[in-house]
Structure 1
């Protein structure tokens, strides 16, 4: 790409400045490509937090805002790379040397194929690949900005980036060179037409655009582009595993149903307790097995600064079974897997109606109606709030069984215990007091408070309404959970974060 020296200097001098202010007040000159420079400044500013290793790499070219908005973050890209590596290992794909991989890429007859060469050292790229030989063949049918592709490609002997937008292909050629992926193939083609003539792959990745022709957001699989449901037969025939990235707003049950018996794994991925991605792993031919007879493993993952929280359930015709839970601080597993299973009649659902409730806890008290403790008068001492991935999955009965913590009430999605439970995938709190909404009880329970962090669960008032009613400012060390207990009483739980 030809970039004038003046444009480079403008970007370097103003990359921390406000882009809107620059657009209004920057001096225009013939040698300055201002629109392109503003895209680069805005892209770098986004990358500082979303893609810090990319932001630290000199010379990276950023696409327009929409592509930056839609691309994965580094944590979610690493997660997908690890997932792809595990799927490959489960298939036992043969290792190939880099020389053999390069020879195969030279002989490839993919349509519209462009092979990139580079001698740039792989020093600034995300460190996902291990020292093991690279294996298998990866095809990313919706390459986009290339964050997912560049992270996953390091573990494959062959990697093919496919993108229908020529400008994004040009950016990918440039950036992959800088990132040490010069042996990757960049193909400017439509996903469906490319797939029709492509060689088989071990992993195919597809991330359909979730915008309609007018730029509006879409969430249902059928409304996305390319048409994954129309490509199911070809996708599953061409690859050992198909990894589909979808909007976290989508109901995963509906996604599994739409994919007609091909879904083997569901991954709900949150970062810092905010759901970011819904991933499906497809395998097998559509309609070969009735949807109700397919076993689906649901992985709830929350990537945090302290480590990665994981909770896994298996949903099959017999019910939902909690098969594993762990926290991995600094990527090292420290919690043993839990093999508790839920009653066969349990249902994994993200509905708030009719959620199965574990009837007893560590103390043997009924959920939401435990007896007061003689020493402190509290009905329960600890409160647990599941992370965002589990909230999205809705497998609350499985969580209750796995950690032996009863739900406070069927629709509260809060859990309680008398003793501290280690490794719960979410936030844990020490209860200070439990109060009703009566004036005297509120005065007692809120004594000394001027600030509080307020959350509502199955409660008739919003957070802002409740904050106004209680006359409390936001923040501080106190947490208030307003909810409805099992006896249909409105209560507020005051607690401190552990």
Structure 2
């Protein structure tokens, strides 16, 4: 694919002289505040730039370990580092892309129309014969050119320009990736698809005219059912992605092949649950009389909570939901591979004073959580005079009979 507006690596590399490079290497594992406080302002070291690099690498050590392990990486200022994808999320997109293009004729071009810092692109590009990164900010293009070279992504082409304009003239691709900016015309944060830039709803047909697959990264706050409706039959699948039990993004896969019931995949680290849209019916609920006999409590992970895959969950792990909207499950047996948190139940009771005294039994510290309960976790902890932490887990919810109940539990040792 053409690369008329390509950025050269030497557009950015000269900024790092040897003194600055040595300063970064000498202080890269130190506390950034101490470095800033004691840095000598001599003429050879670009101290503000060096501080950005030290701070960026500190974030990357946990968020992007592969990047942090590559000495030549140049990091942007703090805000873009906080906003970029984490390595697990980017690796998942790479696996998704490889899954989608399996069996497609070669060459297989990837086009990322919203390149940004290039994290997602750097992982996805390796699954393709060639890959084009498009970004309208020259500074980010220069960073991407340099960093992709350092990371050994040799099939990448960087184009500095507007993604929508590039779409209109680009040759066919195998997959197009878009991560719309989630800010409206006034710069306010938004989750509505139509308020994002570019407007992928308006571009749907144009995108699919250029590639058989389009992957769009959207806010985890979106109603995924409405999102499927908004794209009018073009959604092939929708992936709800969580990392360490925190829902990070929704990935919408558009395809030229129309489907009435897209695949929904709920992913949290290595755990995955799939179902077809429309199959997410209500799970069965545990009768109140059976609760005292239940030995184990299960809390689904964030991706399953977002997807509402409770009936699918129940078919694979036969546990009963405590109440209609509790999203907490109980069973008489242990499921070691349950996708979420699992606990041993020590006691169950109501909110009456006698039950509360028995349940707490002198406990002064607990991890309090509420599901479908009239108080927040903080309000309940205050009411029960509990400080946060310890080995006791206290869940408050509403059972099938409408009673407000407390469940005292612990991790299975």
TM-score for the superposition, normalised by structure 2: 0.91
Deviation at 1:33, TM superposition (A): 2.4
Q: Which of these residues, 393, 399, 402, is aligned with residue 485 of structure 1?
A: 399
What is the rounded CA distance, in whole Å, between the counterparts of 1:424 and 1:4 in structure 2?
A: 52
What is the rounded CA distance, in whole Å, between the counterparts of 2:404 and 2:287 in structure 1?
A: 12
Deviation at 1:195, TM superposition (A): 0.7
What is the rounded CA distance, in whole Å, between the counterparts of 2:47 and 2:67 in structure 1?
A: 22
The reply to whether residue 300 of structure 1 matches residue 266 of structure 2 is yes
The residue that corresponds to 1:257 in the other structure is 229
User: Is the CA contact (8 Å cut-off) linking 1:206 and 1:245 kept in structure 2?
Assistant: yes
User: Does the residue aligned with 2:165 lie in a helix, a strand or coil?
Assistant: helix
Deviation at 1:23, TM superposition (A): 5.0
The residue that corresponds to 2:374 in the other structure is 460
Aligned pair count? 399
Deviation at 1:451, TM superposition (A): 2.0
C-alpha change, 1:370 and 1:422, in structure 2 (3 Å) is farther
User: Is the CA contact (8 Å cut-off) linking 1:246 and 1:277 kept in structure 2?
Assistant: yes
**Structure with more contact order per residue of length (Cα contacts < 8 Å, sep ≥ 6):** 2
The reply to whether residue 175 of structure 1 matches residue 158 of structure 2 is no
User: Is the CA contact (8 Å cut-off) linking 1:368 and 1:407 kept in structure 2?
Assistant: no
User: Does the residue aligned with 1:228 lie in a helix, a strand or coil?
Assistant: coil
Q: Which of these residues, 310, 313, 333, is aligned with residue 399 of structure 1?
A: 313
User: Is the CA contact (8 Å cut-off) linking 2:185 and 2:195 kept in structure 1?
Assistant: no
Deviation sequence 1:55-80 (CA, Å, 0-9, x none): 11111001122321222111111111
User: Does the residue aligned with 1:230 lie in a helix, a strand or coil?
Assistant: coil
Deviation at 1:219, TM superposition (A): 1.1
Deviation at 1:53, TM superposition (A): 1.3
Q: Which of these residues, 245, 256, 262, is aligned with residue 284 of structure 1?
A: 256
The residue that corresponds to 1:312 in the other structure is 274
User: Does the residue aligned with 2:201 lie in a helix, a strand or coil?
Assistant: helix
Deviation at 1:36, TM superposition (A): 2.0
What is the rounded CA distance, in whole Å, between the counterparts of 2:340 and 2:30 in structure 1?
A: 37
The residue that corresponds to 2:3 in the other structure is none
The RMSD of aligned alpha carbons is 2.0
Deviation sequence 1:32-56 (CA, Å, 0-9, x none): 3233222212211110100011111
Worse-superposed segment, 26-35 or 13-22: 13-22
The reply to whether residue 369 of structure 1 matches residue 283 of structure 2 is no
The reply to whether residue 6 of structure 1 matches residue 19 of structure 2 is yes
What is the rounded CA distance, in whole Å, between the counterparts of 2:221 and 2:287 in structure 1?
A: 30
Gaps of 5+ in 1: 96-134, 322-345, 347-355, 360-366, 373-377
User: Does the residue aligned with 1:254 lie in a helix, a strand or coil?
Assistant: helix
What is the rounded CA distance, in whole Å, between the counterparts of 1:258 and 1:21 in structure 2?
A: 50
Q: Which of these residues, 157, 162, 183, is aligned with residue 190 of structure 1?
A: 162
The residue that corresponds to 2:4 in the other structure is none
The reply to whether residue 244 of structure 1 matches residue 216 of structure 2 is yes
User: Is the CA contact (8 Å cut-off) linking 2:247 and 2:303 kept in structure 1?
Assistant: yes
The reply to whether residue 71 of structure 1 matches residue 68 of structure 2 is no
What is the rounded CA distance, in whole Å, between the counterparts of 1:179 and 1:357 in structure 2?
A: 47
What is the rounded CA distance, in whole Å, between the counterparts of 1:487 and 1:280 in structure 2?
A: 38
Deviation at 1:215, TM superposition (A): 4.5
User: Is the CA contact (8 Å cut-off) linking 1:370 and 1:380 kept in structure 2?
Assistant: no
TM-score for the superposition, normalised by structure 1: 0.76
Deviation sequence 1:441-470 (CA, Å, 0-9, x none): 111111142321111001111111111222
Deviation at 1:21, TM superposition (A): 5.8
C-alpha change, 1:446 and 1:300, in structure 2 (3 Å) is same
Deviation sequence 1:286-316 (CA, Å, 0-9, x none): xxx6xxx72111000010xxxx11100101x
The residue that corresponds to 2:70 in the other structure is 57
User: Does the residue aligned with 1:152 lie in a helix, a strand or coil?
Assistant: helix
The residue that corresponds to 1:146 in the other structure is 118
Gaps of 5+ in 2: 1-12
The 5-angstrom pairing of residues 377-456 of structure 1 reads 378-456=292-370
The residue that corresponds to 1:328 in the other structure is none
